[in-house]
Chain A
Amino acid sequence: MSSSKPGVAGAEPLRKEVAGRRPWNRRHVLDTDDWSREEIETVLDQTRAMREILQRPIRRAPPLRGRTVILFFAEASTRTRVSFELAAKALSADVTNITASGSSVEKGESLYDTVRTLQALGGDVVVMRHASSGAPYFVAERTDAAVINAGDGWHAHPTQGLLDAYTLRDAVGDLEGKRVAIVGDVLHSRVARSDINTLLPLGARVTLSGPPTLIPSAWRCGQLPPGVTYEPDLDRALDGADAVIALRLQRERQETGLLPSLREYARVWGLTAERVGRMRPGAPVMHPGPMNEGIEIDAAVAHGTRSLIETQVTNGVAVRMALLYLLAATVPLEERV
């Protein structure tokens, strides 16, 4: 959601200057569901500039000098947190952590109390991960900081959607008319939702595949967003696809009656080399990690030539740098340290 409130103090004029060619004046990054193609492309272009910085011998630029980025992870996550931390540090921001383990969040402090603390601490950007869908909206409404959603419940993981779009575009070119298969537990997946929200405006079509119990019921019954289809048969979903994104399968889905067995899941919806061969020649394989090798993806596929899984991780840092830059830069990127 956009907001009419001004951005982080002092960042406004600079942001217009650096991103002047295309509109990008978001105050928060909560979801990409209402982003235009232009806004997404601005972030992807900015990401390219950030990749260049990451390839320098000294991976550091000054744009966020004097800014404080608070990483508020109320749900365990190492990869995303470290990725944001590297991104913030590469842009010279001061970074501090409020993590779940050992923090007051675990002691039952309410989100409301945490927000008041965040507000009092005066961070410029709050990067948050939370188990409840919508929690970043709650925080964004009650703080002056820019809020970046690093994953909320089943809802959204905007930076993952953007890094997946960047990675895909880098691998297969313009996404217009391309078909991407997303396989697995779509129902509980914020990654799937954000991938859909980011890929559709770029012109891609999405085919969902997975067990019927792990697809939102409305989507299974034909009420899908335009551009998205559901194909329970994985072979058919992959036939001629331009890329595939496998989702992580939580092992507890079997215990809650949503799956007969992990073994059956692996046989029916696991990505094997044979299945991957049904896609267009060279079509890439992606996964948001961490992977359950042998369940949703075979080791040979995960580490094979088509796999972009490690590239996704590298691009993740660049995308997060791009967003931090667009939200809170104090100094232009071109200035050297």
Chain B
Amino acid sequence: MRFDRHAFEAKGHLVVPGFIDLHAHLREPGFEDSETIETGRRAALRGGFTTICAMPNTEPPIDSPGLVKELLGRGHGVNGARVHYVATITRGRKGRELADMVELAAAGAVAFSDDGSPVQDPRLFRSALEYARVTGRPVIEHPEDLALSAKGVMHEGTVSARLGLPGIPAAAEETAVARDIALARMTGARLHLTHLSTGGSIDLVRRAKADGLPVTCDVTPHHLAMTDEWVAGSRALAWEVEDEALRAGPYESSTKVNPPLRGRADVRALWAGLVDGTVDAIATDHAPHASVKKEVEFDQAAFGISGFETAVALVLGGVGVHWAALGTVIDALTVGPARVLGIEVPRDDWTVIDRDAEWIVRADEMASKGKNTPLIGRTLTGRVVATVVGGEVAYEGEARVTEAISRR
């Protein structure tokens, strides 16, 4: 069905360019019980994302030009988002030797990242940045000093002290950000720091940008909306007052994510970074997991939140309380990530949003195979009504949703 913009606007919906997610996990190949390219692409559309970048921590990892080409050739039906593939920085994501970066870029890799297993050896990371510069593709860095985060499973602070869980200090991220910026300064390479979670990290990027360095960064919807209190059972969004009726039990593994949900001051600093332009993009870090990886003890559970389908509501929540302007967050979901990746915003991709729609997050309604979000059961405001790829309506909300909206 061709997209009729005026029909949607007549209903009072917001029509914006299709969202671009520069950080997502589609789990294929290797972990198809958690997500496949197809389920991930459908979940993306439900969340308003028409272009997504798949991270290479698959099995095998995306570290060979052949695999990049093979994946780019896999099903690109109309009912899914466009997919770019991020290739690894190092062979096998082992952090020991560089992957064939020039050839990977030539094969179509949109960026490089060892996401989740960041390159610890600074000399090797320097080489990666030098090489990335030649390819013209950015390095997407998950900044984490693994020696400092050690066996941590949540933000190190008062909540981890109370719950008796090993902490991941803010410094585990900030020391890595500082190292990466120093190396970007030295090499002149395009460095993109992904899913920044602390106020200290934002400050470092702000300074780097003031120095004119080609450094960019993104934040995730969950880090913009949730705090470490969620691990203890809170289900109040960062701008809401604590609600006893909403509380869940502590140690829910759906709140376990890396970087961890941080403190309130960090959340405010991320929003401040969005507002002043330090933060270039909002990326979901959509990390679906099969239930067997999450239905375990908190410290044994996999890190990650399934993020595509709730992203818009979380971000619009902050807009609703004036933590940022609507235009700012829409830019961070569209032109911002496009600039980071050096790609065009597809001209006829659109996302249609009903900003007032109230809905309950339900596991069985999610298109993603990963139901791992602490938002299950929560009421959110703001929902994607339709998503348009190449001028065709690729997703339209269920009749039930549309009815609820028309009854308003």
Residues facing B in A124-142 (CB within 8 A) are 130, 132-135, 137-138, 141
CB neighbours of B29 from chain A (8 A):
none
A216–B163 CB distance below 8 A: no
Inter-chain CA distance A155–B164, complex, in Å, is: 4
Option from B160, B165, B297 in Cβ contact (under 8 Å) with A111: B297
B164–A154 CB distance below 8 A: yes
A135–B297 CB distance below 8 A: yes
Given contacts A137-B251, A141-B249, whether A190 and B297 have CB atoms under 8 Å apart is: no
* CB nearest to A133 among chain B residues: B164
**How many Å from the CB of B297 to the closest CB on chain A?**
4
CB neighbours of B299 from chain A (8 A):
132-134, 153
CB neighbours of A1 from chain B (8 A):
233, 249-250
A111–B296 CB distance below 8 A: yes
* CB nearest to A156 among chain B residues: B164
Inter-chain CA distance A137–B253, complex, in Å, is: 11
Residues facing A in B169-214 (CB within 8 A) are 169
CB neighbours of A314 from chain B (8 A):
none
Option from B161, B166, B250, B251 in Cβ contact (under 8 Å) with A219: B161
The proximity string for B residues 248-284 relative to A, scoring 1 for CB distances below 8 Å and 0 otherwise, is 0111000000000000000000000000000000000
B297–A134 CB distance below 8 A: yes
Inter-chain CA distance A185–B299, complex, in Å, is: 20
The yes or no answer to A217 lying at the interface (CB within 8 A) is yes
The yes or no answer to B295 lying at the interface (CB within 8 A) is yes
CB neighbours of A111 from chain B (8 A):
296-297
Given contacts A135-B297, A138-B297, whether A190 and B164 have CB atoms under 8 Å apart is: yes
B160–A216 CB distance below 8 A: yes
Inter-chain CA distance A111–B296, complex, in Å, is: 7
CB neighbours of B297 from chain A (8 A):
111, 130, 132, 134-135, 138
The proximity string for A residues 184-221 relative to B, scoring 1 for CB distances below 8 Å and 0 otherwise, is 00000010010000000000000000000000111100
Inter-chain CA distance A225–B162, complex, in Å, is: 9
Option from B158, B251, B300 in Cβ contact (under 8 Å) with A218: B158
Bin the interface of chain A by size.
Answer: 20 to 34
CB neighbours of B156 from chain A (8 A):
217-218
* CB nearest to B165 among chain A residues: A133
Inter-chain CA distance A193–B233, complex, in Å, is: 18
B157–A137 CB distance below 8 A: no
The yes or no answer to A110 lying at the interface (CB within 8 A) is yes
CB neighbours of A141 from chain B (8 A):
249
B249–A216 CB distance below 8 A: no
The proximity string for A residues 241-264 relative to B, scoring 1 for CB distances below 8 Å and 0 otherwise, is 000000000000000000000000
CB neighbours of B295 from chain A (8 A):
112
Inter-chain CA distance A210–B164, complex, in Å, is: 17
**How many Å from the CB of B254 to the closest CB on chain A?**
13
The yes or no answer to A223 lying at the interface (CB within 8 A) is yes
A137–B161 CB distance below 8 A: no
The yes or no answer to B298 lying at the interface (CB within 8 A) is yes
Given contacts A132-B299, A134-B298, whether A154 and B165 have CB atoms under 8 Å apart is: yes
* CB nearest to A219 among chain B residues: B161
The yes or no answer to B167 lying at the interface (CB within 8 A) is yes
Q: Which 8 residue pairs spanning A and B have beta carbons closest together?
A: A134-B251, A155-B164, A216-B161, A154-B164, A132-B297, A218-B158, A133-B164, A134-B298
Given contacts A134-B297, A217-B157, 19 further A-B contacts (CB under 8 A): A1-B233, A112-B296, A132-B300, A134-B250, A134-B299, A135-B297, A138-B296, A141-B249, A152-B164, A153-B299, A156-B164, A193-B162, A216-B160, A216-B161, A217-B161, A218-B157, A218-B160, A219-B158, A223-B157
* Chain B residues packing against A (C-beta within 8 Å): 156-158, 160-167, 169, 233, 249-251, 295-300
What are 13 of the A-B contact pairs (CB < 8 Å)?
A111-B296, A133-B164, A138-B296, A141-B249, A154-B164, A155-B163, A190-B164, A193-B162, A216-B161, A217-B157, A217-B161, A218-B157, A223-B158
